Amino acid sequence: MQEGRIVDSFLNGGIETRFRYPRWSDLDAFIAMHRTLTREKVMCRRLELDAASGGRELSQALVGLEQKRSSYLLVEQEGILLGEGFTQKSGHEYCTIGLALIARARGLGIGTRLMDALEKESRRLGARGLYLTVWSANTSAIHVYRKVGYIESGRRPDWVMMDSGETCDLIDMVKIIE
Ligand SMILES: CC(C)(COP(=O)(O)OP(=O)(O)OC[C@H]1O[C@@H](n2cnc3c(N)ncnc32)[C@H](O)[C@@H]1OP(=O)(O)O)[C@@H](O)C(=O)NCCC(=O)NCCS
């Protein structure tokens, strides 16, 4: 693993967008990006990061990459971090995937492309199956996952309590990539 290496780069709205591995010097920007995601109440994991817990998260990502147990990609435009995606070995030849973009980076095709990059990273880790969970209220994420080939494999009714106080289902989705 080369820290900071770019794995994909493309123009989005005329601006170069990069997917790259993290490096230790990303720590402050990594914490700031997670604070933004938490403030925006994204419908997925939220990390309440301070310097210590942010350092632990980032070092876990770097060690996972080094040991080929997981991969972690940052989304960067003009030196600003806009989001992240990860994939980690979770069982026999399958990986669990997750991703999140800050609000201003959504709806521009970046998430779809990041799913493709995470699939490539999962193959590199030896996966033949991909797995993720998504809240049933997260219709744009479900749309993207279906578009790139995931199908629903299970559903836990009323599993998630949303910020609104309402509940929604937790959906399991899988994609076989062999
Ligand atoms: C989910 C997420 C990663 C998708 O990335 P993105 O860059 O916004 O997705 P894209 O722009 O590639 O594609 C969005 C698609 O959803 C569609 N869409 C937008 N709003 C929608 C809605 N309310 N319902 C259904 N589809 C919707 C768009 O039309 C587009 O589809 P198309 O390409 O077929 O036209 C991103 O929105 C995100 O980070 N959300 C917050 C964090 C999160 O929810 N992460 C996933 C947790 S499981």
User: For every one of its 178 residues, what pLDDT tens digit does the chain have, with 9 covering 90 and above?
Assistant: 689 999 999 998 899 999 999 999 999 999 999 999 999 999 888 888 999 999 999 999 999 999 999 999 999 999 999 999 999 999 899 999 999 999 999 999 999 999 999 999 999 999 999 999 999 999 999 999 999 999 999 999 999 999 999 999 999 999 999 7
Calculate the CA dihedral of residues 54, 59, 64, 67 and round it to 10 degrees.
180
pLDDT at site 13: 87
Question: Which ligand 1 atom is at minimum distance from the Cα of 132?
Answer: 48
CA distance 21 to 105: 19
Structural domains in the chain, CATH included, are 6-176 (3.40.630.30)
CA 66 to ligand 1 center in whole angstroms = 30
Ligand 1 atom with the smallest distance to the CA of 100 is 39
What is the number of residues in the chain?
178
Residue type, 114: L
Q: What is the pLDDT of residues 6-52, one digit of tens each?
A: 999 999 889 999 999 999 999 999 999 999 999 999 988 888 899 99
111 CA distance to ligand 1 centroid (A)? Answer: 7
Query: DSSP string spanning 97-137?
Result: EEEEE-GGGTTSSHHHHHHHHHHHHHHHTT-SEEEEEEETT
* Nearest CA among 151, 75, 76 for reference residue 114: 75
Span from the CA of 145 to the centroid of ligand 1 (angstroms): 9
Position 25 scores a pLDDT of: 97
Q: Ligand 1: which residue has its CA nearest to atom 7?
A: 111
Structure tokens at 69: 């147990």
Ligand 1 mean position, distance from CA 67 (Å): 31
Closest protein CA for atom 42 of ligand 1: 100
Q: Say yes or no: CB of residue 109 within 6 Å of ligand 1.
A: yes
Ligand 1 mutation pick, 38, 106, 113, max ligand atoms within 8 A of CB: 106
